[in-house]
Structure 1
Amino acid sequence: MSLRIGFWFGILLISVFAAHWGAERLSSPLKKLRRQWGLTAVAGGTFIGLAAASPEIAINTVSALRDVGSIGLGNSFGANVLSMPLMVTAAYLAVRTTDVTQQRGEDSKAAASQNPTDSPEQLPVRRTAVTVLAIPYILILVLVAVLTLPAPWRGLQPLDGWLLAIAYLIYAGQALVRGRQEGENVQWTRKEVGLAVAGVIVLAVGSYFAIRATEQLVAAFGISEIVGGLFITGTMSTLPELFATWSIVKSGQFTSGTTGVVTDNAVTMTVALVPLAFVTVPIDDFQLYWVSFAFLVAMPLLYTVFIYWSPEQSGFSLWQVIAFDLSYLVFLGVIIAVIF
């Protein structure tokens, strides 16, 4: 048994490093693509979210095909509750260790103009992130609640899958269109395109095998599927996004890097749930489900409030980042109390 666990932990480690490499290949191409299409920094987070959400889509597809939908459902919830405090923390640390005067991103230029010698004391995020991304994401969660919580149709059914797919198309469409400007002419090299494509592939493949490894660990430890999805699979599927967020924020794209988590979560609660809906997934532990859902909604609400908190500059200060992290610890405590 110990040999088996050690083997899958090794696979897990290799997969995570592979996903890290893939995430690092995306920073520059995503910035160029946003400039070429004339998209705002907030809308640029949509691309980051799609790439970063590939682990959730992969594990949910595998869960549906293998008739272990509870793992996929737990993965979606676990990843989304953890991802916001984790990514905001990573983005804050990345900003605090970045010399903004050496970066060419428009967010870093603005930060450098305000404080030309030091790293920003605050993680700056444009307020449009709230109206374009965070509030529409909260509306997506309201839709998921309506589709899955009421007793007559509790769980995921095929009709829910179609409705969630349409919801994501509306979400992504409004984010890409709002605030669009005239695009710029940018030069693409064959090597740059090749590395970007390779990065997406390696990110997806690495994430997939990382999640497959955690599935094996769930079986080895003998824990329930939903709990394994919440805390093992869900946690591991956030790691590639963590690497992507760090890399993109370090490149000076503070808003795009920090808002990518919102678009990722929107994908997770729409597109990534579609495979589960098509095979029909019931909710076996309703108390665990609705408690997790409550914290799932609380995270974007905190995200929204904190961005608007400071009248001088929107974003996250140190105490807000700490509050985000503490909220996840409260979630862990409540879930442990529910389980035991």
Structure 2
Amino acid sequence: MIALLPWLGLVLLGIGMMQWGAARAAVLLQALRDRWGLPATAGGALMGIATAAPETAVNLSSAAFGWPDIGLGAALGSNVPALPLAVLLSWLATRLRPEAVPPPEVQPQVMEVQALPYLGVVLLLAALTLPPPIAGLQPVDGLVLCAAFAGYIAHALLRRPWVEQAPMPPGVAGRAAIGVPAIGLGALASVVGAQHVGAPLGVPDMVVGLFAIGLLCALPESWSAWRFTRDGKPTVAIAAVMGDGIVSLTVALLPLAVMGASVGDAAIYALNIGFLVAVLAAYAIRNHRRRGQAMGPGFVAFLCAGYIAYLGATAVLLRR
């Protein structure tokens, strides 16, 4: 076990580098959103492109090394806890304030612009990868997923109403340019480290990707929900998480589709897909057509209980 510590450290270092670079890219895209006067839901779509950059880089690295299940697991592992964590942290951001404030509410437009497209992407991915005759990712699947992303981003960016434009802060483009190579190097480090942690322990690559990379990538991304909600932007917080999920399950999977990646553990994979469908369906059912989504204690408890049940089901499948 002691011999695995340097590799685990490499995973953590790689994830830290990816998040450092993605944060700088996110600042640039947020500045562009303000510069163009795009609505909050469109801002979430742009932020999702930046925050999903680590998953894209991990997929490139895992495909290059011939470990596709690490990339596929990382993509799912960053999606599954993201929305429950973001909702929990958004609620805590208001509950822990000294003054009494109501639970945060997400604008109803998120349902049409983010939640329903996200659910559609998850169902599309399931249809492309789960049926036995066509199980796995093929190049044509990558084209279909990229087309789905193109439709989503066009719908998000062309939506009205637009808001007041703001000037671009100085230096954001330069900082983003420095962040991009950090994302690539971090992905290489995390993939190599994760494989060297999981292989000696006999842990499947998909599970390594789920919990050694995906979960750790989701933590700082979801933590941004706290900051956005504290700044009075809960809609941006949830829209960014959903936008990240859409990107990571469409264009980010293109490297794995090009190499024709198979699904290593179909049961674990199906469990993750099923959990995402259940969470997004619950969001849709609870969303009010006019008031949007209130992130109160009941909804928080429901999502957290669901994630705990997911962890229990994963443990059962691993013991089979």
Range of TM-score over shorter length = 0.7 to 0.9
Are 1:333 and 2:312 counterparts? yes
Give 3-state SS (helix, strand or coil) of 1:175's partner. Answer: helix
Whether the 8 Å CA contact 1:27–1:247 is kept in 2: the answer is: no
Per-residue CA deviation, residues 299-322 of structure 1 (Å, 9 max, x unaligned), is 21223334439x766321122112
Report percent identity of matched pairs.
32
CA distance in 1, matches of 2:312, 2:158: 41
The separation in 1 between residues aligned to 2:291 and 2:25, in whole angstroms, is 32
Which 10-residue stretch deviates more, 205-214 or 77-86? 205-214
Quote the Cα distance in structure 2 between the aligned partners of 1:237 and 1:282.
23
Instruction: Please name the residue that 2:299 is paired with.
Output: 320
2:276 paired with 1:277: no
- Pair 1:152-2:151 in alignment: no
CA contact (8 A) 1:249 1:258 kept: no
Where does residue 63 of structure 1 map in the other structure? 62
Distance 2:169 2:225 in 1: 23
Letter in 2 for 1:66: F
Conservation of the 8 A alpha-carbon contact between 2:23 and 2:50: no
Letter in 1 for 2:2: S
- Choose the corresponding residue for 1:167, options 132, 148, 155: 148
Inter-partner Cα distance in structure 1 for 2:92 and 2:188: 27
Once the two structures are superposed, the pairs formed by residues 114-133 of structure 1 within 5 Å of their partners are 118=99, 120-133=101-114
- Map 1:235-246; keep pairs closer than 5 Å: 235-246=215-226
Counterparts of 1:38 and 1:236 in 2: how far apart (Å)?
Answer: 33
Residues 1-340 of structure 1: pairs in structure 2 closer than 5 A: 1-3=1-3, 5-19=4-18, 21-22=20-21, 25=24, 29-97=28-96, 118=99, 120-181=101-162, 184-189=165-170, 191-199=171-179, 202=182, 205-206=185-186, 209-308=189-288, 314-340=293-319
Of the structure 1 ranges 322-331 and 72-81, higher mean CA displacement relative to structure 2 is found in: 72-81
In structure 1, C-alpha distance between the alignment counterparts of 2:284 and 2:40, rounded to whole Å = 17
Query: What is the RMSD computed on CA atoms of the aligned residues?
Result: 2.7
User: Displacement, 1:237?
Assistant: 2.2
Contact 1:16 1:239 in 2 (8 A): no
8 Å CA contact 2:109, 2:292 repeated in 1: no
Structure 1 residues 151 and 262: CA distance shift in structure 2, 3 A: same
Q: What are the superposed Cα offsets for residues 116-148 of structure 1, whole Å, 9 maximum, x if unpaired?
A: xx3633122111101111001111122112211
Cα distance, 1:83 vs structure 2: 1.3
C-alpha offsets along residues 224-261 of structure 1, whole Å, 9 cap, x if unaligned?
A: 11221222222122134134434443433221122111
Structure 2 unmatched runs, 5+: none
Check the 8 A contact 2:26/2:50 in 1, yes or no.
no
Q: Which runs of 5+ in 1 are unaligned?
A: 100-117
Partner SS state of residue 92, structure 1 = helix
Alpha-carbon distance in 2 for matches of 1:289, 1:125: 30
* 8 A Cα contact 1:245 1:257, kept in partner: yes
TM-score by length of 1: 0.83
1:107 counterpart residue number: none
- The whole-number CA distance in structure 2 between the counterparts of 1:278 and 1:293 is 21
In structure 2, relative to structure 1, the CA distance for the partners of 1:40 and 1:208 (3 Å cut) is farther
**Matches of 1:210 and 1:91, distance apart in 2:** 28
**Structure 2 CA distance, aligned partners of 1:185 and 1:285?**
48
The one-letter code of the counterpart of 2:56 is I
Indicate conservation of the 8 Å contact 2:69/2:206, yes or no. yes
| Residue correspondences, number | 319
Rounded Cα–Cα distance in structure 2 between residues aligned with 1:128 and 1:265: 17
Partner Cα distance (2:295, 2:163) in 1: 30
Contact preservation (8 Å) 1:85, 1:325: yes
1:170 Cα offset (Å): 0.8
Shift of 1:90: 2.4
For the 8 Å contact 2:22–2:53, the answer to whether it is kept is: no
